Each structure stands twice: as C-alpha cells, then as structure tokens.
Structure 1
C-alpha cells in the first residue's frame, strides 16, 4: 500500500550548462584562431614592407643616374642582380640571349608558362636599349622613360619571387 502522506514527483533534470564561461576547448580554439590571424597579418605586413623596400631600391638606383645613359646602366645592373635570383648564370648572358631571357620573364622555369607569358618588349621593343644604352653618350630621355616601366615591372616580378 501506499502512504498517502508521501508525495512522489517526477525526476527533475539538472539545468543546462550555461554558455558562459566557455569550456577550455573553446578557449584553446579562440587562442589558436587569434594566433593564426596575428601570423597572417604579420606576414602580410612583412610582405608589403618588403615590396616597398624593393620599389624604393629601384627608384633610388635609377634616380642616381645623372644622365639618361647612367639611368640605363643602373637599370641594367638592377636587372642583372635580380636575374641571379631566377637563374644563377643569367647575369652572364650577353646580347640577344640576355634580351630573350628578359622576355621570358621566369627564366625558362616552365616552358608552357614561359611561352604563355613571353613578350617581345625587350627583344623588339624599348628593352633593346639595354644592349648599348648604358654606353652611348646620346641616349634620348624619352627612350629611357619608355624603358623604365618595363624594367621596373620585370625587376619587381623577379624580386618578389622569393
């Protein structure tokens, strides 16, 4: 028999855990996410500063040329330095071989990519000035002005490679 004074009730579930403070795993995940974001921002800032330094290097080196011929010589020197990053033997190329290397852009690393990106701006365009422009006494300033963006683009491409 049942005792009438005994009141039976249903089993009560404990309340759901609160959402705050989060479990330790969520704290670790948040810290890891924060670390990844901080590393990405640091890398992007470093990359941007490196690009700014390279652009400044190019601008300063070309600006030191007192004559158009000296500017061409400075651009040629910068390109040869940057070419060593692509191919260690590239700075020893001469004449048409040097201009063809400049037109390829990637140093022949990938034949299909090189064919797709190949231009004739150095072998048949304003880039021909690099062959003897640094040695001539009478270089036209407009030729140097046409050459500068071409050389700058190739220099930045090669310096940003690594």
Structure 2
C-alpha cells in the first residue's frame, strides 16, 4: 500500500480531562462528608455537655449521701461551695468568675440563677454559709438549714448552666 495514495493523517488524542469542574458524584461525596463531619462535631459537643451534667449530678449525689451518713454540716457546706465554684468556672470559662469572692460571689450566683432577680437566695443567711465554710476547721459547727442549702445549690447546678454563658461578673 502506498501511504501517499491514502492521504491519512496521524491520530490525534483528545485533550486530557480536567479535574475541574468536578463531576456531580464528587459534589455529592463532598457534601456528604461535610454533613457527616458537622453531625459528628455537634454530637460530640452534646455528649460532652451532658457528661459534665452527669459528673456534677454524680458528685452532688455523693455529697448528699455523705451528709446523710455523717450529718456533718461543715463538710456539707465545704463540699457544696467547692462544687459550685468548679461548676461555675467550667460553665463560664471566659468570665472572671474564679476571682469572685464574698458578696460578689453570692451576687453572681443569684444573677446566674434561674430564679427571679428579686429572689436573692444565695445572699440570704443560708447562702452566706458558702462563703465561710471552706475556710473553717474540720471540727467547726455550723448552724444552718442543710436541706435548704442542698436544694439551693442543686437548683443552681442542674439548671443554671443552661443560661447563656458569657455574662460579665
């Protein structure tokens, strides 16, 4: 055969397929990956928030059980004061709540409580026990309504964390 007689040209390959724009399947895969990542992030955040509440509830139950067994009001007030402080620092990490002391600390607890502002229960005589209890000797005797203090602290611990964080002390 004579090549010149057939007058053939070389084979030209098509241009390489570009990676952009992506095919619809890749867009679906990308959207699915983003949705799964977002769902996982939200689920982990919810789990951690509930874990904190579970930990606080367990410690509060332990404090109440210790009080039922020993009937030691001084130890009860100390334990509740420490638990309130730790929970507050955890719930409000961006505020300067760790530095609050005295009446300012009780006012902060009342402000962040789900009760009305007129009901300053932490600033009452029962709540003021929380100020002095951690600094008293172990054998000190305190006279206060233990059930009222437990209820006051329990109400704050189990409901106030749901309030919006970021309040300034």
Instruction: Give the alignment's TM-score, normalised by structure 2.
Output: 0.55
The answer for the alignment partner of 1:59 in structure 2 is 61
2:122 is matched with which residue? 122
Tell me how many residue pairs correspond in the alignment: 127
Distance 1:27 1:48 in 2: 31
Separation in structure 2 between the aligned mates of residue 153 and residue 76 of structure 1, nearest angstrom? 14
CA deviation after TM superposition for structure 1 residue 68, in Å:
2.6
Aligned partners of 1:100 and 1:122 also within 8 Å = yes
Shift of 1:97: 4.5
2:79 to 71, 74, 78: 74
* Structure 1 unmatched runs, 5+: 1-21, 107-115
Distance in 2, matches of 1:48 and 1:42, equals: 10
1:137 matched residue in structure 2: 141
Work out whether residues 99 and 128 of structure 1, in 8 Å CA contact, stay in contact via their aligned partners in 2.
Answer: yes
Q: 2:98 aligns with which of 88, 103, 107?
A: 88
| Residues 102, 122 of structure 1: 8 Å contact kept | yes
1:40 aligns with 2:48: no
- Name the CA shift for 1:139/1:44 in 2 (closer, same or farther; >3 Å): same
Q: Give structure 2 stretches of 5+ with no counterpart.
A: 1-23
2:21 corresponds to: none
- Using the size of structure 1 for normalisation, the TM-score is 0.57
1:59 deviation in Å?
A: 2.8
Structure-1 separation of matches of 2:127 and 2:85: 14
Return the offset for 1:62.
4.6
Cα distance in structure 2, aligned partners of 1:51 and 1:126: 24
Residues 30-73 of structure 1: CA deviation (Å, up to 9, x unaligned): 22212222222222122211221122233324543421332122
Please state how far the C-alpha of 1:155 moved relative to its aligned partner: 3.9
Match of 2:107 among 100, 105, 110: 100
Q: Report the alpha carbon displacement of residue 78 of structure 1 after superposing the two structures with TM.
A: 2.5
